[in-house]
């Protein structure tokens, strides 16, 4: 039962994998720095020897800045289909959170508040006093915490497939905390991961396959990969330990909530019978100045699967905010 539980949770949260049957000729990397990113990667040096890898596209004087935050198990390239279009009008900055991608890795005291502080310090390190936040899944939950903690910095929120709106009992929270371990993340069978990744899309596009290639490549990165595996359960605990549902009415920034109608991960189908739209609408009801948009034939990675539609929603929203 414990093993089955892990597979269910891994499908729920990670959304990144390596498929043995389709990707048998892939190469591993000795360092995450060898991963092939879609944009030039820069690094910001923060306090406590933390180095944040980031993209900075459309960086021209006078442009409004959008900071993009990835979800659990993911990284900055997950936003590539959005950055390529939005950077024509906005300064688009996507980060790898500590423990992920090309950012530094260590035994960090991971909480959502910790990551919110990282986002704030990162923005300040670039001299950005005010910015829009776009977050996916866990990244959306981090974005909400950042907006609540540093309201003077955050101009608006774009929450894509947001975690943090669905509620869990204390027993369900404990189930999440104990089911995923670093060892399980490291040893997940390839055939099972091949099935898991399908849960993140209504129909997985071909240009999303780099996520699978990269996830496999990471396994050769020694201690870096071990730190990556270690941060996953820490993030799961952080998500259930810091629910934001009670504080949503305190969010004052204009907020856009975007979800795919075919999202198989929110709500958790194994625990709850609610619909994705009901979760989205709940967020819309609790956040005062918000709007909800549902995308047909799209899953949890709606921003990647339907970039044209989602980019249009983002652009329209940002034009109204500005």
Rounded to 5°, angle at Cα 112 from 84 and 174: 120
95, 89, 90: which is closest to 37 by C-alpha?
Answer: 95
Domain range for 182: 28-187+221-321
The helix/strand/coil state of 97 is coil
For 42-92, what is each residue's pLDDT tens digit?
A: 999 999 999 999 999 998 888 999 999 999 999 999 999 999 999 999 999
Residue 270 is assigned to a structural domain of this protein = yes
Mean pLDDT of the 238-258 span: 96
* 260 within some domain: yes
Residue 210 lies in a domain: no
Band of the pLDDT at 15, cuts 50, 70, 90?
very low
In a domain, 272, yes or no: yes
Q: What's 226's domain CATH number?
A: 3.40.50.1820
- Is there a domain that residue 193 lies in? no
pTM, entire model: 0.92
Asked if residue 71 belongs to a domain, the reply is yes
Report the domain count for the chain. 1
Q: Is residue 50 part of a domain?
A: yes
User: What's the pLDDT at 115?
Assistant: 99
Q: Is residue 10 part of a domain?
A: no
Q: State which H helix or E strand residue 255 sits in.
A: strand 255-260
Residue 169 three-state SS: coil
Mean pLDDT, residues 306-312: 98
**Residues facing 260 on adjacent strands:** 295
CB atoms within 10 A of CB 30: 11
Using CA atoms, how far apart are residues 16 and 149, in angstroms rounded to an integer?
30
């Amino acid at each position: 039962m414990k093993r089955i539980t892990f597979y269910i949770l891994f499908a729920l949260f990670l959304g990144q994998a390596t498929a043995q049957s389709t990707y048998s000729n892939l190469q591993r990397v000795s360092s995450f720095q060898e991963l092939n990113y879609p944009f030039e990667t820069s690094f910001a040096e923060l306090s406590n020897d933390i180095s944040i890898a980031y993209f900075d596209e459309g960086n021209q004087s006078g442009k409004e800045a959008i900071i993009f935050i990835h979800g659990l198990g993911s990284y900055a390239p997950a936003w590539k289909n959005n950055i390529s279009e939005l950077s024509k009008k906005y300064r688009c900055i996507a980060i790898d959170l500590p423990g992920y991608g090309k950012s530094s890795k260590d035994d960090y005291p991971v909480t959502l508040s910790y990551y919110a502080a990282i986002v704030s310090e990162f923005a300040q390190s670039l001299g950005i006093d005010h910015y829009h936040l776009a977050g996916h899944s866990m990244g959306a939950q981090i974005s909400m915490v950042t907006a609540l903690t540093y309201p003077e910095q955050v101009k608006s929120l774009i929450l894509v497939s947001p975690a943090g709106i669905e509620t869990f009992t204390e027993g369900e929270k404990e189930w999440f905390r104990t089911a995923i371990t670093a060892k399980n993340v490291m040893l997940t069978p390839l055939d099972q991961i091949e099935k898991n990744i399908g849960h993140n899309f209504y129909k997985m596009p071909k240009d999303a396959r780099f996520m699978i290639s990269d996830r496999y490549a990471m396994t050769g990165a020694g201690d870096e990969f071990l730190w990556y595996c270690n941060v996953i359960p820490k993030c799961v605990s952080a998500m259930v330990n810091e629910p934001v549902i009670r504080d949503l009415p305190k969010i004052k920034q204009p907020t856009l909530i975007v979800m795919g109608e075919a999202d198989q991960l929110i709500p958790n189908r194994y625990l709850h019978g609610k619909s994705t739209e009901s979760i989205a609408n709940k967020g819309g009801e609790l956040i005062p100045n918000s709007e909800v948009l549902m995308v047909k034939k799209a899953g949890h990675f709606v921003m990647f699967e339907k970039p044209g539609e989602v980019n249009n929603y983002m652009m329209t929203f940002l034009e109204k905010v500005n």
